[in-house]
Amino acid sequence: MSYSLPSLSYPYDSLEPYLDTRTMEIHHTKHHQTYINNANMALKGTVFDNLTAYELITNLDKIHQDKKTFLRNNIGGHVNHSIFWKLLKKGTSLKNELQIAIKDNFGSIEEFKEKFELLASSHFGSGWIWLINKNDKLFLTSTNNQDNPLMGENIIGISGYPIFGLDVWEHAYYLKYQNRRLDYIKAFWNVINWDEANKRFLSK
Report domain extents, the chain.
21-87, 96-203
For residue 173, the SS3 value is: coil
For residue 129, the SS3 value is: strand
Do 131 and 116 form a contact (C-beta atoms < 8 A)?
A: yes
**For the chain, what percent of residues have pLDDT higher than 70?**
100
**For the chain, what percent of residues have pLDDT higher than 90?**
96
- Sign of the dihedral through C-alpha 123, 125, 131, 134: negative
Whole-number pLDDT of residue 134: 97
> Which DSSP category does 108 fall into?
S
Please say if the pLDDT value at position 204 is more than 90: no
Distance CA 85, CA 93 (A): 17
> What is the SS3 assignment for 69-86?
HHHHHHHHHHHHHHHHHH
Residue positions forming the annotated binding site for Mn(2+): 27, 81, 167, 171
Please say if the pLDDT value at position 153 is more than 90: yes
Do 99 and 109 form a contact (C-beta atoms < 8 A)?
A: yes
CATH code for residues 96-203 = 3.55.40.20
Whole-number pLDDT of residue 25: 99
* pTM: predicted TM-score of the whole model, two decimal places: 0.96
pLDDT digits (tens, 9 = 90+) for 6-55: 999 999 999 999 999 999 999 999 999 999 999 999 999 899 999 999 99
pLDDT digits (tens, 9 = 90+) for 59-112: 999 998 889 999 999 999 999 999 999 999 999 999 999 999 999 999 999 999
Please say if the pLDDT value at position 120 is more than 90: yes
Do 151 and 76 form a contact (C-beta atoms < 8 A)?
A: yes
Do 84 and 171 form a contact (C-beta atoms < 8 A)?
A: no
Residue positions forming the annotated binding site: 27, 81, 167, 171
Average pLDDT, the chain: 97
Distance CA 181, CA 196 (A): 24
Query: Does the domain spanning 21-87 belong to CATH 1.10.287.990?
Result: yes
